[in-house]
Amino acid sequence: MSDGKSIEVEGKVVAVLPGTMFKVELSNKHTVLAHISGKLRKNFIKIAAGDMVKMEMSPYDLEKARITYRMKDTAAYTPTHRRRY
């Protein structure tokens, strides 16, 4: 849940690091270190390099963030034909 003090931003995952940490590039080419939130961890949401994510950042430390949502990539699943059995 977002409180009034956090900044919500979107970015693209550049690198997957050990310990569920990620390097995420924002639209202004700024790179931050991010970890996944407890809800994503609880529901086993997988995040890979190249995924677009929503994050919360503290206004006091703009180098770190918490990933709160993985954006759905509609281009990733485009079936070309249907199988009929």
Q: What is d(CA 22, CA 50) in angstroms, rounded to the nearest whole number?
A: 11
Confidence of residue 5 (pLDDT cuts 50, 70, 90): confident
Q: Is the pLDDT of residue 34 over 80?
A: yes
Q: Which residues make Cβ contacts (< 8 Å) with residue 85, sequence separation at least 6?
A: none
Locate the domains of the chain by residue range: 7-70
Cα of first residue to Cα of last residue in the chain, in angstroms, is 45
Q: According to the model, what pLDDT value does residue 11 have?
A: 95
Which homologous superfamily does the CATH classification assign to the domain defined by 7-70?
Nucleic acid-binding proteins (2.40.50.140)
Mean pLDDT of 21-35: 95
Q: Which residues make Cβ contacts (< 8 Å) with residue 50, sequence separation at least 6?
A: 12, 13
Distances in whole angstroms, Cα of residue 77 to Cα of each of 11, 52, 74, 82:
21, 15, 6, 13
pLDDT in tens, 56-75: 999 999 999 999 999 987 55
DSSP 13: E
**pTM: predicted TM-score of the whole model, two decimal places:** 0.79
Which carries the bigger pLDDT value, residue 3 or residue 49? 49
